[in-house]
Structure 1
Amino acid sequence: MNLALTTSYALVVTLLIATPGPVVALVINTASAAGSKKALQTAIGANGASLALIAAAAAIISGAAVLQPETLRWISIAGCLYIGWLAISAIREHVTLPSEAQQGRRLQQGGWLKGFLVGISNPKDILFFVALFPQFIQVTESFATSMGLLAAIWVALDLLILGAYIFILGKVLSVRYRRWIALVSAVLLLGIAVAGLVYNLSA
């Protein structure tokens, strides 16, 4: 195993995952509004989506599958609409419902399925993986072993970083700050959805 190449890949992945995006925004929103357990379920769902996208990228790199750009575009549009709906629902809940009602609806926040759907909502991430993995595929001499190792590192770092966000929100910040963070993360999620929708419709 090429240790230097593996370390470089781990550093790149850490920076990519830690950068706020729809999954990070959803996990932060869920941790703030519904607690650590629900946020962890959301993170695991998003992790499952990453594995599905990585598998698709591996199939393309190996020549076993072909991408249809127009299909990706329409799936991306549907994903943006779903993320936008989640964001608007969260914003309305934090703005219009009293604290007691919000507490009563906590269990409806986040969860494995929402995490998976948000994670899979931008299939163009497949293109990102197709571009990323060939740069590090020489970590071992076997294509299958290299892809397995790269995927395992991604999954481990993904859960570790999202888990750090959840821990900080659950153990460090006060409830008052968590409510504001939940609202801000919902607005960020809406912004990501709108930006993605504009990009896909203008493409």
Structure 2
Amino acid sequence: MNTALAITYILTVMLLIATPGPVVALVVATASAAGPRKAFSTAIGTNWASLMLIALASYIIVASAAVNVVLLNMLSLLGCLFIGYLALDALKNNPASADAQSPDKQAMQGGLWHGFIVGISNPKDIIFFISFFPQFIQITSSSKHSLILLSLLWVVIDFAILGLYIFMTRKLLSKTSSHLISRGAGVALLLIALSGLIYNVRELFNLS
């Protein structure tokens, strides 16, 4: 294994995942509103989505399959609408009163399926993985083994960083701060959804 290349990949992925985005915003909002257990379930959902996108990207890399750009933009557009729904839900809920909420209400805050939909909602990540993984494909002598190793490293780093976000949200902040973080995460999700909608509508208009 190329150790230097592996270290470079690990550091790069750490920076990419730690950068605030829809996944981080959703996990932080869930940790503030519904607790670490629901937040970890959300993280599992986002990781599951990442694995599916990585698997598809790996297939495209190996098989040199063509990407349907219009389909990717349509799926991304639907994902932005769902992210917007989650943002409004996060802004509407009050983490300080989470204990008083009904189980059905708490179940709406994050969770496995919400995490999966947010994670899968930007299928342009497939294009990212297609362009990103080949830079590190020489990490082993076999391209297939390299893709497996790169995927496993991504999963481990993803869980570690999201777990750190959850720990910081629940252990190091007061209830008032958690409320502010939940609101801030909701605003971040809403801005991400709006920017995604504008971008994808513009892309679809240019392709038509």
TM-score, scaled to structure 2: 0.92
Question: Superposition pairs for residues 7-156 of structure 1, below 5 Å?
Answer: 7-63=7-63, 65-94=65-94, 99=97, 103-104=101-102, 105-156=105-156
Paired residues, number: 201
Deviations, residues 154-184 of structure 1 (Å, cap 9, x unaligned): 0000000000000111111111110111011
Aligned mates of 1:189, 1:180 — CA distance in 2: 14
Deviations, residues 80-130 of structure 1 (Å, cap 9, x unaligned): 001001111221234xx9836864433331111110110000000000000
- Residues 93, 102 of structure 1: 8 Å contact kept: no
Query: Match for residue 206 of structure 2?
Result: none
Alignment-mate amino acid for residue 59 of structure 2: A
Alignment-mate amino acid for residue 135 of structure 2: Q
Aligned mates of 2:48, 2:96 — CA distance in 1: 34
Aligned mates of 1:156, 1:98 — CA distance in 2: 32
Aligned mates of 2:193, 2:132 — CA distance in 1: 24
Aligned mates of 2:100, 2:144 — CA distance in 1: 47
Query: Match for residue 163 of structure 1?
Result: 163
Query: Match for residue 192 of structure 2?
Result: 192
List runs of 5+ in structure 2 lacking aligned partners: 204-208
Aligned mates of 2:190, 2:159 — CA distance in 1: 23
Q: CA deviation at 1:64?
A: 5.5
Aligned mates of 1:107, 1:198 — CA distance in 2: 30
Q: CA deviation at 1:198?
A: 0.2
Q: For the structure 1 residues 198 and 13, does the alpha-carbon distance in structure 2 shift closer, same or farther, using more than 3 Å as the test?
A: same
Percent identity between the two aligned chains: 52
- Secondary structure, counterpart of 2:90 in structure 1: helix
Aligned mates of 2:113, 2:145 — CA distance in 1: 29
Deviations, residues 141-160 of structure 1 (Å, cap 9, x unaligned): 11111000000000000000
- Residues 33, 98 of structure 2: 8 Å contact kept: no
Alignment-mate amino acid for residue 200 of structure 2: N
Aligned mates of 2:121, 2:78 — CA distance in 1: 7
User: CA RMSD of the aligned region, Å?
Assistant: 1.6
Query: Match for residue 172 of structure 2?
Result: 172
Q: CA deviation at 1:201?
A: 0.5
- Residues 23, 118 of structure 2: 8 Å contact kept: yes
Q: For the structure 1 residues 102 and 15, does the alpha-carbon distance in structure 2 shift closer, same or farther, using more than 3 Å as the test?
A: farther
TM-score, scaled to structure 1: 0.95
Alignment-mate amino acid for residue 148 of structure 1: I
